Amino acid sequence: MKRSLEPVVWHISQSRVDFREAEAFMMKRAALISRNEARELIWLLEHDSIYTAGMSAKPKDLILPTRFNVLTTGRGGQYTYHGPGQRVVYVMLDLKTRCDRDVRKFINRLQRWIIRALTELGVSGVVRKDRVGVWVERFFRGGDREDKIAALGIRLHRWVSLHGFALNVSVDLSHYDGIVPCGISDHGVTSREDLAIDVDLHDVDRAILGAFREEFGIDVLKPDEADRVCGFI
């Protein structure tokens, strides 16, 4: 079967995963995928509270450097927050077959995937040409604004993607006060809970799965013995 038609492994971690362990696993898995020694993988998880700095992070955007651990990572983007109540989705796909080696096309598909999932959850997400991520339009007395509900950041290893996106479900939004999220100071952040949308993490996971199938046209498999041999966490 051609890789473009093969299903991918879909796994949801039930306990929080250390960020460095997740990053090391992604690098190992991406190397195996690039050599056709492992299936592609979509991994859903949560992290403990941390700030991560992408390749474009600016020191001035780290406002409270001692609030949480600050970890430098090889993904694209600037500073972001990870923590409980946030669904992190790590995407390890072969862009040679899935997106014709077109990184912009891949990012656009990730954003459409998120928007499809949000629509299923009753949230209208939008994208903006000058801002990566998915945003929600907010209307308040005295003015309007747009808040980010999902952040994106990827890395490539031999055309296999690592990292992915983080969707705010019931995250403590005050934890973003220690950084300028993604270097954008004139917009805020929001979550499913902040928007008063009555869904839980399981609803979010189902919406993410359904939207993935619709956007990429790929079926999914549970991890099997081969995945454990490949070092799945």
pLDDT per residue as tens digits for the range 68-106: 999 999 999 999 999 999 999 999 999 999 999 999 999
Q: Whole-angstrom Cα distance, residue 89 to residue 173?
A: 19
Maximum distance among all Cα pairs of the chain, rounded to whole angstroms: 58
Domains of the chain: 3-229 (3.30.930.10)
| pLDDT for residue 141 | 55
Q: Rounded to the nearest 5°, which phi and psi values hold at 14?
A: -85, -15
Has residue 139 got a pLDDT over 90?
no
pLDDT band at 142; cut points 50, 70, 90: low
pLDDT per residue as tens digits for the range 173-217: 999 999 999 888 888 899 999 999 888 899 999 999 999 999 999
Helix (H) or strand (E) holding 146: strand 143-157
Residue type, 12: I
Nearest to 138 by CA among 85, 211, 191, 202: 191
Nearest to 69 by CA among 82, 54, 86: 82
Residue that has been written with the tokens 């450097």 in this structure: 65
Q: Whole-angstrom Cα distance, residue 6 to residue 38?
A: 12
DSSP code, position 62: B
Q: Whole-angstrom Cα distance, residue 204 to residue 149?
A: 13
| pLDDT for residue 209 | 97
pLDDT band at 228; cut points 50, 70, 90: confident
pLDDT band at 229; cut points 50, 70, 90: low
Q: Are 129 and 115 in contact (CB under 8 A)?
A: no
pTM of the model: 0.94
Half-sphere exposure of 21 (CA within 13 A, CB side): 11
How many other β-carbons are positioned within 10 Å of the β-carbon of residue 2? 6
Q: Report the catalytic residues.
A: 182
pLDDT per residue as tens digits for the range 23-61: 999 999 999 999 999 999 999 999 999 999 999 999 999
Please, which contacts does 185-191 make with residues 24 or more away whose CB atoms are closer than 8 Å? Answer: 187/131, 187/135, 187/145, 187/146, 187/147, 187/148, 188/138, 188/145, 188/147, 188/148, 189/147, 189/148, 189/149, 190/136, 190/138, 190/147, 190/148, 190/149, 191/85, 191/149
Residue type, 66: T
From residue 155, how far is each of 27, 107, 149, 162 by CA, in Å?
10, 11, 21, 5
| pLDDT for residue 143 | 56
Q: Whole-angstrom Cα distance, residue 94 to residue 33?
A: 7
